[in-house]
Amino acid sequence: MRVVCAGDCGVDRYVNLGIDRPGGIALNVAASAREEFAASDEVLVLTALGTDAESWLVRSAIGRLGLSGAVLERAGTTSIQYIDQLPSGEKHFLRYDAGVLADFRIGAPERALVATADLLVMPVYRQISAFFESVISAPCPGIRAVDFLDLSDVDDPAAFVAGIAAGIDIGFFGLQGSSLALIDDLELIARRHRRLFVVTLGADGSMALGATGRVGCPAAPVPRVVDTTGAGDSFAAAFLAEYVRSRDVARSLQRGAERAALTIQSIGAFPWP
């Protein structure tokens, strides 16, 4: 199994704590995938880093985590997510700087890498839309999984998802339990295109939407929430690792919930010294 995580590998800057940690959706997913998938499986990242001082932290993490792939260097800055950690442990994203990834588009060598993927995982959001379009247009024989985040940066979320759904296999969404109308819209899209959509709802658990109907799963209990950063990313990695093995949606939701529960009990999306 070859898992390619394409997207932002960058720095999570905790403003309230005054610390930097390696992060970014693609790196977070890859870090959890490295633990969730078999040791014999390959986990790779596809990203672009800047020439700034922050890039060393990301490269160090990629090396320590035992990841390979295509990490290209471009003149400019590495992506940074500015975070304010609330007393409840909930993350508050203050600002995001995509850096060199904002204008980066993959070329022939990176398309060749995508063509070897048994599983391709990538986020989509406004700041890296050019990068996403260059990756999603590349031929890929394996499962394509896309994290749509909370869809807060698009004007018409349902139309946006519908425009991408035909080219993917699995979609992840991080929503609130109050987003009932949007969840209904997503379910219609999933059924129409015969796709599997997975919605995480924080403390309200998660659900899968698709042709077989809704499958729900409660959140795994935790003694204390420390930091919710990366919870959805680790959920997605664990869900996918179980799903490619068993195709059991309920078991995959449970495994995702268990992994997310571990993540939110410490600072950062994955352990880091």
- What are the start-end ranges of the E strands in the chain? 2-6, 10-14, 19-23, 42-49, 68-73, 80-85, 91-97, 119-123, 143-147, 170-174, 196-200, 206-209, 215-217
Asked if residues 92 and 82 have their Cβ atoms less than 8 Å apart, the reply is: no
Say if residues 226 and 14 touch (Cβ distance below 8 Å).
no
Q: Any idea what DSSP says for residue 71?
A: E
Token pair 């940690």 in the structure block, residue:
21
C-alpha 114/C-alpha 131 separation (Å) is: 13
C-alpha 215/C-alpha 217 separation (Å) is 7
As a whole number, the mean pLDDT across the chain is 96
pLDDT over 90 (residue 212): no
pLDDT digits (tens, 9 = 90+) for 6-63: 999 999 999 999 999 999 999 999 999 999 999 999 999 999 999 999 999 999 999 9
| SS3 state of residue 11 | strand
Query: What are the chain's domains?
Result: 2-263 (3.40.1190.20)
Between 174 and 87, the more confident residue is 174
Q: Kindly report, residue by residue over 66-98, the tens digit of the pLDDT.
A: 999 999 999 999 999 999 988 888 999 999 999
Q: What pLDDT, on the 0 to 100 scale, is given for residue 62?
A: 97
Whose structure tokens read 């993350």? Answer: 91
For 188-209, what is the mean pLDDT? 97
Strands lying side by side in the sheet with 206-209: 68-73, 42-49, 2-6, 119-123, 143-147, 170-174, 196-200, 206-209, 215-217
Q: What percent of the chain has pLDDT above 70? A: 100
**What pLDDT score does 177 carry?**
82
8 Å CB contact between 6 and 47: yes
Q: Say whether pLDDT at 190 is over 90.
A: yes
Would you place residue 273 in the very low, low, confident or very high pLDDT band (cuts 50, 70, 90)?
Answer: confident
DSSP 145-201: EEE-TT-TTSS-HHHHHHHHHTT-SEEEEE--TT-HHHHHHHHHHHHHHT-EEEEE-
pLDDT at 27: 98
What value does the mean pLDDT take over residues 100-120?
97
**On the CB side of 49, how many CA atoms lie within 13 Å of its CA?**
25
- Does pLDDT of 171 surpass 90? yes
